[in-house]
């Protein structure tokens, strides 16, 4: 095909390589978006029956509510099928100094009045910790309450929320919805080679049984194998192991001792000698895992620490060891191939960014699917620029949790606090934030994956030393008082009206949420 003809070739057949959460989210988003626009686009997903999914990504962002709504899955069905629970943020235990009272929340609600006023300078007088002072969601987490009631419509809430979910069951639900409702073609087979077209594009993937699955655009969701972005195009992998030290995770699934045990409505991240332990509550079990650095602790010692954390409930349970190669591709979109999910990159799941990055990638691809081959080049440039920036900010934000620790008890924490291991720009921003609260102007993009409220929750949760100028003059002080009074009122009302988290989950399973 000559140059002009190739450039004007319509993008009609999209092939997703790989299943799991990444592949099936990609297929659902592409098919649903094409159906909504009335485009003549087919979506085919090819996966091997021999490759198991990683399947431990159980935490999401509030963005998942939009994703599920866009692809047409009801919240009631999702909660029932995926053993899902509602997530209202994360609590970090032992990260600041390791003391007995060391713990803070990063809730999903922004600080009160965030679009009108910055409350951080008014908090300097002391009193309640920052998260409890500027918003009411931390109190809901303390009380084990849900972010909504059974009468609240699907995907709406009195407080902002995301989900905890069973990743394996989630992929199954997505697959059934994609093939049964959205018209996605599912092909099971092992890819043995890739057929190339003129100009360096991928023309199709060839399976072991001789079939060729042709396409105009290929989405590489093949996980760590990175069959296309790495295997075909050899796009370099940029390691960030010099910044983020964790390279192992040990995961366990822990049943509840009693079916009526409380379901925690936030992720708990508890600091350890050489890493941290996540603790996630689902309807039927807890997902618990230890993320750690093998340079600072052996696998056996890490598993022993995990079992000590779990206690007698760990007896007889098997543990799954995962290796983390922290980093991302130098480019994510090459020719007519775009990497999504683990094939694009991975870093420790400290702020549950893995599924969010899949969603963000598919928002950029599905909602602005190139119409012609010529348009792919522009889309690729925009995509690569945006996600190179997103990855840099994610690494910086995760490092922030370690960089400002006051822990010196083990080499792991001392090494993380060494400015020589910090990403470019973090030291500069930390110096600025001693005198000025994090604000939107401190970041390069209007749409950041982690905005200034998240930085404030971490900085003030860990008691980062600040010298904010007091702002006692009216009308600023009066405005701040109004917002805090409103927060106090909302907190009291929510604590009185919202149900216990497990009670809401039970009600959803028995009666369902109010359909939109």
Whole-angstrom distance, CA of residue 112 vs CA of residue 456? 13
List the domain range (segments joined by +) for residue 354.
3-58+166-237+328-386
Let me know if residue 333 belongs to a domain: yes
Proportion of the chain above pLDDT 70, given as a percent: 95
pLDDT at residue 2 greater than cutoff 60? no
Whole-angstrom distance, CA of residue 172 vs CA of residue 55? 11
Assess contact for 362 and 340: CB atoms under 8 A: yes
The pair of structure tokens assigned to 282 is 């689902």
Whole-angstrom distance, CA of residue 445 vs CA of residue 452? 12
Whole-angstrom distance, CA of residue 503 vs CA of residue 145? 9
Write down the catalytic residue from 87, 148, 169, 399: 87
Calculate ∠ Cα 161-162-164, nearest 5°: 130
Let me know if residue 74 belongs to a domain: no
Let me know if residue 46 belongs to a domain: yes
CATH code of 369's domain: 3.50.50.60
Let me know if residue 185 belongs to a domain: yes
**Tens-place pLDDT, residues 276-326:** 999 999 999 999 999 999 999 999 999 999 999 999 999 999 999 999 999
Which residue has better confidence, 472 or 12? 12
Let me know if residue 199 belongs to a domain: yes
pLDDT at residue 3 greater than cutoff 70? no
The whole-number pLDDT of residue 7 equals 66
Let me know if residue 256 belongs to a domain: no
Whole-angstrom distance, CA of residue 123 vs CA of residue 104? 15
pLDDT at residue 73 greater than cutoff 80? yes
CB under 8 Å to 228, separation ≥6 — which residues? 17, 194, 202, 218, 220, 222, 337, 339, 343
- The DSSP string of 196-211 is E-GGG-EEEEEETTS-
Whole-angstrom distance, CA of residue 456 vs CA of residue 468? 13
Whole-angstrom distance, CA of residue 376 vs CA of residue 199? 13
The whole-number pLDDT of residue 477 equals 84
Whole-angstrom distance, CA of residue 109 vs CA of residue 490? 13
Q: Is 186 helix (H, G, I), strand (E, B) or coil?
A: strand
Mean of pLDDT values over 117-127: 80
Q: To which residue do tokens 């929510």 refer? A: 494
Neighbours of 441 (CB within 10 A): 7
Q: Count the domains in the chain.
A: 1
**Tens-place pLDDT, residues 343-401:** 999 999 999 999 999 999 999 999 999 999 999 999 999 999 999 999 999 999 999 99
Q: What confidence category does residue 14 fall into, taking pLDDT thresholds of 50, 70 and 90?
A: very high
**Tens-place pLDDT, residues 280-289:** 999 999 999 9
Let me know if residue 153 belongs to a domain: no
Mark whether 87 is an active-site residue: yes
56 burial class (0-12, 13-18, 19+ CB within 10 angstroms)? buried
Let me know if residue 375 belongs to a domain: yes
Q: Is 172 helix (H, G, I), strand (E, B) or coil?
A: helix
């Amino acid at each position: 095909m000559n140059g002009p003809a190739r450039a004007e070739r319509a993008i009609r057949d999209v092939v997703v390589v790989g299943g799991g959460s990444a592949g099936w989210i990609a297929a659902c988003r592409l098919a649903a978006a094409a159906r909504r626009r009335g485009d003549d686009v087919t979506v085919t997903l090819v996966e091997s029956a021999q490759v198991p999914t990683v399947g431990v990504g159980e935490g999401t962002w509030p963005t998942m509510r939009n994703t599920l709504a866009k692809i047409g899955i009801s919240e009631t069905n999702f909660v029932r099928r995926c053993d899902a629970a509602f997530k209202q943020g994360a609590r970090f235990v032992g990260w600041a100094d390791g003391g007995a009272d060391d713990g803070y929340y990063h809730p999903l609600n922004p600080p009160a009045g965030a679009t009108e006023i910055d409350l951080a300078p008014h908090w300097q007088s002391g009193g309640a910790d920052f998260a409890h002072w500027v918003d009411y969601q931390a109190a809901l987490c303390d009380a084990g309450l849900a972010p909504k009631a059974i009468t609240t419509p699907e995907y709406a809430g009195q407080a902002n929320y995301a989900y905890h979910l069973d990743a394996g069951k989630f992929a199954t639900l997505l697959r059934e919805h994609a093939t049964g409702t959205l018209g996605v073609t599912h092909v099971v087979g092992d890819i043995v080679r890739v057929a190339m077209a003129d100009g360096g594009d991928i023309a199709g993937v060839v399976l072991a049984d001789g079939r060729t699955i042709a396409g105009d655009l290929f989405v590489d969701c093949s996980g760590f194998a990175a069959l296309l972005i790495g295997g075909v195009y050899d796009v370099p992998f940029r390691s960030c192991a010099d910044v983020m030290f964790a390279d192992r995770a040990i995961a366990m699934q822990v049943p509840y001792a009693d079916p009526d045990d409380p379901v925690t409505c936030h992720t708990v991240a508890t600091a350890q000698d050489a890493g941290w332990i996540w603790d996630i509550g689902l309807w039927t079990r807890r997902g618990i895992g230890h993320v750690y650095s093998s340079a600072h602790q052996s696998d056996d010692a890490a598993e022993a620490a995990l079992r000590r954390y779990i206690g007698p409930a760990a007896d007889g349970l098997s543990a799954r060891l995962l290796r983390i190669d922290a980093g991302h591709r130098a480019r994510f979109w090459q020719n007519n191939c775009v990497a999504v999910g683990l094939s694009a990159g991975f870093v420790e799941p400290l702020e549950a960014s893995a599924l969010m990055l899949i969603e963000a990638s598919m928002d950029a691809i599905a909602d602005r699917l190139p119409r012609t081959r010529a348009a792919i080049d522009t889309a690729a440039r925009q995509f690569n620029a945006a996600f190179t920036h997103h990855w840099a900010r994610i690494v910086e934000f995760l490092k922030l949790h370690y960089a400002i620790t006051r822990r010196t008890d083990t080499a792991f924490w001392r090494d993380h606090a060494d400015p020589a291991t910090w990403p470019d720009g973090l030291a500069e921003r930390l110096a600025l934030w001693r005198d000025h609260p994090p604000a939107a102007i401190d970041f390069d993009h209007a749409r950041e994956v982690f905005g200034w409220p998240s930085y404030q929750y971490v900085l003030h949760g860990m008691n980062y030393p600040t010298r904010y100028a007091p702002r006692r003059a009216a009308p600023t002080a009066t405005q701040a008082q109004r917002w805090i009074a409103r927060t106090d009122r909302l907190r009291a009302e929510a604590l009185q009206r919202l149900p216990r988290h497990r009670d809401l989950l039970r009600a959803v399973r028995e009666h369902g949420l109010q359909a939109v």
